[in-house]
Amino acid sequence: MLVLGLETSCDETAAALVERGRRVVSNAVASQHELHAEYGGVVPEIASRAHVERLMPVVRASMSEGGVTLSDVGAVAVGHRPGLIGSLLVGVAAAKALAWSLGVPLVGIDHVHAHLYAACLDTDREIEHPALGLVVSGGHTTLYRVDGPTRLTRLGATIDDAVGEAFDKAATILGLPYPGGPELDRLASDPAADPTRFDLPISRLGRDSLDFSFSGLKTAVLYSVCGVPRPKREGGGFPRSVGDLAEEDRRDLAAAFQLAAVRTLTLKLGRALERGGYRSVVAGGGVTANSLLRAELARLAAERRLPLHLPPMAYCTDNAAMIAGLAFPMLEAGETADLTLTPVPTTAC
Ligand code: KG4
Ligand code: ZN
């Protein structure tokens, strides 16, 4: 069965076709980065208006890329939670109209569940359950016990910034263009970079905690770049700015930040794995595109002799293939929606 998936939860307008939950037939994504760059972050009203303009052209692009027509579509799936409410509304309204007019089932998908399902796309490998699952994106940093594609139990989550948000903020402090995560990855991957020159903090929280924290790391990058703020009586403000930094300092700071952020993640994965019982490790979300995180996850899984499931690079950041893919096991389980489906800003887990 061919499922059409729609994704409009944040700043990517996406449509994709996936056959029987596995084979990606087409994957069309219209990024809005150019609209939000001047604000240094996503502006919700601009995002929802751009979804209205771009969604149907993106759906048409997914059809022509796949060489099919709407009459070949067996079901319509839409990311309906979590996300920006105005953005979600656009995708949900379009999905309902398409499903109703085509006379096919409608499936409402949790975006966070879909990020973990992305590791099942374009592969025949099955995830061994229970798996230890990690979702790392611009909005989420959460560790799960995974017993099935939609059976997730939260073990821990960030208590402040999401790791992708920390990457983006650190990149801004280092003077890199928006969105900064991939730019910081590139700068840190310079073979000459020395990640040990700057000692940045790895948050551990309590001895048994599986939660994460990234705000201290972000502040440490700010102070390393700009110095410690002067007291008010001395005029306040920072003694330096990013322009005063030598190119090799920026590069080494980027590498030190990336190392500390990735170690913060793998430390908690290691803690969770020590408790035992997991048969595999699965990860998803935009930050799984990070080169060091991919390498460190591979090392961690190999040390524990566990299979690792990571999404192909094209399905790490927001896309609709993960939405269309996850719809298939949900359809098989009879988990369809009707025209009362509503967008919800929060995740189900
Ligand atoms: O999953 P995603 O597209 O959107 C959310 O659901 O939030 O994730 C976007 C996040 C952004 O913060 C972006 O900077 C980060 O993923 N990201 C990366 C890399 N590629 C994307 N962070 C670090 N290294 C990368 N290579
Ligand atoms: Zn996402």
DSSP string of 107-134?
EEEEHHHHHHHGGGTT--PPPPSSEEEE
Task: Name the percent of the chain lying above pLDDT 70.
Answer: 100
> Which residues have C-beta within 8 Å of that of residue 101, sequence separation ≥ 6?
none
What number is the average pLDDT over the span 84-102?
A: 98
What's the pLDDT score for residue 188? 98
Eight-state DSSP code of residue 314: G
The answer to whether residues 248 and 174 touch, using CB atoms and an 8 Å cutoff, is no
In the reported structure, the alpha carbon of residue 285 is separated from the centroid of ligand 1 by a whole-number distance in angstroms of: 7
Q: Helices (H), strands (E): how many in the chain?
A: 10, 10
Per-residue pLDDT at 314 exceeds 90: yes
Eight-state DSSP code of residue 334: T
Q: Is 108 in the pocket of ligand 1 (CB under 6 A)?
A: no
Question: pTM for the complete prediction?
Answer: 0.96
Q: Is 183 in the pocket of ligand 1 (CB under 6 A)?
A: no
Long-range interactions of 183-189: CB distance < 8 A, separation 24+: 184/254, 184/257, 184/258, 185/258, 185/289, 185/290, 185/291, 185/292, 187/250, 187/251, 187/254, 187/255, 188/251, 188/254, 188/255, 188/257, 188/258, 188/259, 188/292, 189/291, 189/292
230 token code pair: 């002067």
What number is the average pLDDT over the span 132-150?
A: 97
What's the pLDDT score for residue 126? 96
In the reported structure, the alpha carbon of residue 181 is separated from the centroid of ligand 1 by a whole-number distance in angstroms of: 6
User: Ligand 1 pocket check: which of 27, 291, 317, 346 to mutate, most ligand atoms within 8 Å of Cβ?
Assistant: 317
What's the pLDDT score for residue 347? 84
Q: Is 78 in the pocket of ligand 1 (CB under 6 A)?
A: no
| Ligand 1 atom closest to the CA of 139, numbered from 1 | 7
Q: Mind listing the pLDDT tens digit for each residue in 211-241?
A: 999 999 999 999 999 999 999 998 899 999 9
| Ligand 1 atom closest to the CA of 171, numbered from 1 | 14
Give dist(CA 175, CA 171) in Å, integer.
Answer: 6
What number is the average pLDDT over the span 135-143?
A: 96
Q: Is 79 in the pocket of ligand 1 (CB under 6 A)?
A: no
In the reported structure, the alpha carbon of residue 111 is separated from the centroid of ligand 2 by a whole-number distance in angstroms of: 6
| Ligand 1 atom closest to the CA of 137, numbered from 1 | 8
What is the longest distance spanned by two Cα atoms in the chain? 71
What's the pLDDT score for residue 41? 87
Give dist(CA 10, CA 271) in Å, integer.
Answer: 32
What number is the average pLDDT over the span 252-268?
A: 98
What's the pLDDT score for residue 182? 98
> Which residues have C-beta within 8 Å of that of residue 178, sequence separation ≥ 6?
33, 36, 37, 40, 41, 168, 171, 172
- Rounded to a whole number of angstroms, the CA Rg of the chain reads 21
Q: Is 290 in the pocket of ligand 1 (CB under 6 A)?
A: yes
Band (pLDDT 50/70/90 cuts) for residue 40 is confident
In the reported structure, the alpha carbon of residue 317 is separated from the centroid of ligand 2 by a whole-number distance in angstroms of: 6
What number is the average pLDDT over the span 266-272?
A: 98
Band (pLDDT 50/70/90 cuts) for residue 47 is very high
253 token code pair: 């700071």
What's the pLDDT score for residue 240? 93
159 token code pair: 């208590």
Closest Cα partner for 328 from 61, 57, 16?
16
In the reported structure, the alpha carbon of residue 170 is separated from the centroid of ligand 2 by a whole-number distance in angstroms of: 19
Question: Residue 5 forms beta bridges with which residues?
Answer: 16, 77
| Residue 67 neighbours by CB distance under 10 Å | 10
| Ligand 1 atom closest to the CA of 163, numbered from 1 | 12
In the reported structure, the alpha carbon of residue 22 is separated from the centroid of ligand 2 by a whole-number distance in angstroms of: 19
Of the listed ligands, the closest to the CA of 137 is 1
Q: Is 118 in the pocket of ligand 1 (CB under 6 A)?
A: no
Per-residue pLDDT at 276 exceeds 90: no
Distance of CA 132 to the CA centre of its chain: 17
Q: Mind listing the pLDDT tens digit for each residue in 142-196?
A: 999 999 999 999 999 999 999 999 999 999 999 999 889 999 999 999 999 999 9
In the reported structure, the alpha carbon of residue 176 is separated from the centroid of ligand 1 by a whole-number distance in angstroms of: 15
Give dist(CA 339, CA 165) in Å, integer.
Answer: 34
Q: Is 156 in the pocket of ligand 1 (CB under 6 A)?
A: no
In the reported structure, the alpha carbon of residue 118 is separated from the centroid of ligand 2 by a whole-number distance in angstroms of: 11
Give dist(CA 103, CA 101) in Å, integer.
Answer: 6
User: Ligand 1 pocket check: which of 27, 287, 310 to mutate, most ligand atoms within 8 Å of Cβ?
Assistant: 287
Question: How do strand 12-19 and strand 75-81 relate by DSSP bridges?
Answer: unpaired
Q: Give the residue carrying structure tokens 């979590």.
A: 82
Question: Residue 146 forms beta bridges with which residues?
Answer: 131, 152
Burial code (b: 16+ CB inside 10 Å, e: under 16) for 314-348 equals ebbbbbbbbbbbbbbbbbeeeebbeeebebbeebe
